[in-house]
Amino acid sequence: MRLESFAAIRLPNESARIMRSVVEEAGLAWKPLLSEAGIPADIMDEPNGLLSGAQELRLQDVFIQATRHIPGAWFRAGLQYRLMSYGPLGLAILTADTFGAGLRLMTSFLALTYSLMHYSIVEEPGEVIAIAADDAQVPANQREFTQERALGSATQFLNDIHHSLSPISRIETVLDASHGRHECEAVLGIPIIFGAPVTKWIFKPGVAQAPLPMASPLLEKTYEKLCERLVGEARAADEIVGQVYALLVRTVRRFPGAPEICRDLHLSERTLYRRLADQGLTLGQMMDQVREQRATYLLNNTAMSIEAIAEALGFAETASFSRAFKRWKGMSPLRYRGRTVT
């Protein structure tokens, strides 16, 4: 899924609450992380609170940095994502006719899954045999977290579709068994093959045809329409965000200010700021994102010095660039370049 499309979606605050519980169980302070992600604290206390996809991704970033040292933390977080954590999507799946129909609903509304992972159905003639997960659209610094969390969250998701079915025969993951992940198999009670070329959840024969106990065509259609509306609203908002993003990407050195952007896009500044705020974004955050992407590319693909990269990105001082990069990636530009080369 495209980053820009996910950024525009509105999601329940359940994922943020799960991350908070993991942080607090580890004895870490939660409010500084929320502040670092730029998310108002009151959103967490609202029973029906919503976050934009952009806010969710920023929160995932700071959560990753805060918990990276805790073996198995991301898997344990994943275990807390139950089917009802996904709001209308979970309800639509529960009321589908069969297990296979529920899977097709899931893959139709991936923007509502709190993740940039792309899930697809693997079929053989007349039979659904697996769900595969592709992390190509996930930012590099989030891939390990996303894959480990999915060992818990996607497994719970599939099991929750039909509690008595136990649909999964085995799991294959691109991850290795380090960092406490060797315990996942015992926790799930499902064989796990580590170091696989593609992450997959392999199903038992005939599972896709199994009827679901809460099947209701009327309710399924109701919740499916709600999912369509949520995704449709995100696409409309995404159009403006995408246009702003394209302008920033085309900029060589000095980013345009809000008046210039609004003139180019034929918008009022009030409309621009409202559309960005609806998605939990600011113009400064979008500029920061473009700088991060450029910095990563230049460090990975050129021999430019750190000083030259800082200047190319518009930083007045190399030290300012280094501080910004450490905030983005959790390490200095020099260390990042050394890690990617080796």
**Residue pLDDT, tens place only, 202-232:** 999 999 999 999 999 999 999 999 999 888 7
Last residue of a domain, one of 218, 251, 286: 218
Identify the domain boundary among 218, 243, 278. Answer: 218
pLDDT at 92: 95
**How far apart are the two ends of the chain, measured CA to CA in Å?**
29
Give the pLDDT of residue 229.
Answer: 85
| Whole-angstrom distance, CA of residue 287 vs CA of residue 38 | 15
Residue 296 lies in a domain: yes
CA 232 to chain centre: 19
- Average confidence (pLDDT) over 20-45: 89
Provide the pLDDT for residue 2: 63
Question: Of 168, 186, 218, which one is at a domain's C-terminal end?
Answer: 218
Do the domain assignments include residue 223? Answer: no
Residue 278 lies in a domain: yes
261 shares a domain with 177: no
Which range of residues forms the domain containing residue 260?
228-341
Per-residue pLDDT tens over the stretch 253-312:
678 889 999 998 888 998 888 888 776 678 888 888 888 888 888 888 888 899 989 888
Least Cα distance to 83 among 3, 8, 167 occurs for 167
pLDDT of residue 163: 86
Look at residue 341 in the predicted model and tell me its pLDDT. 43
Average per-residue pLDDT for the chain: 89
Q: What is the pLDDT of residue 340?
A: 44
What is the DSSP annotation of 135-202?
A: -TTS-GGGHHHHHHHHHHHHHHHHHHHSTTT--EEEEE-SS-STTTGGGHHHHHTS-EE-S-SSEEEE
If one counts the domains in the chain, the total is 2
Query: pLDDT value at position 342?
Result: 38
Tell me how far apart the alpha carbons of residues 59 and 70 are, in angstroms, rounded to a whole number: 17
Identify whether residues 155 and 188 lie together within a single domain: yes
In this structure, are 316 and 211 located in the same domain? no
Q: Are residues 285 and 152 in the same domain?
A: no
Q: What is the pLDDT of residues 125-157, one digit of tens each?
A: 879 999 999 999 898 889 999 999 999 999 999
**Within-domain flag for 32:** yes
- Asked, for residue 281, whether it belongs to a domain, the answer is yes
Please give the average per-residue pLDDT across 102-108, as a whole number: 95
The torsion of the CA quartet 331, 335, 340, 342, rounded to 10 degrees, works out to: -140
Question: How much of the chain, in percent, has pLDDT values that exceed 90?
Answer: 54
Is there a single domain that holds both residue 212 and residue 239? Answer: no
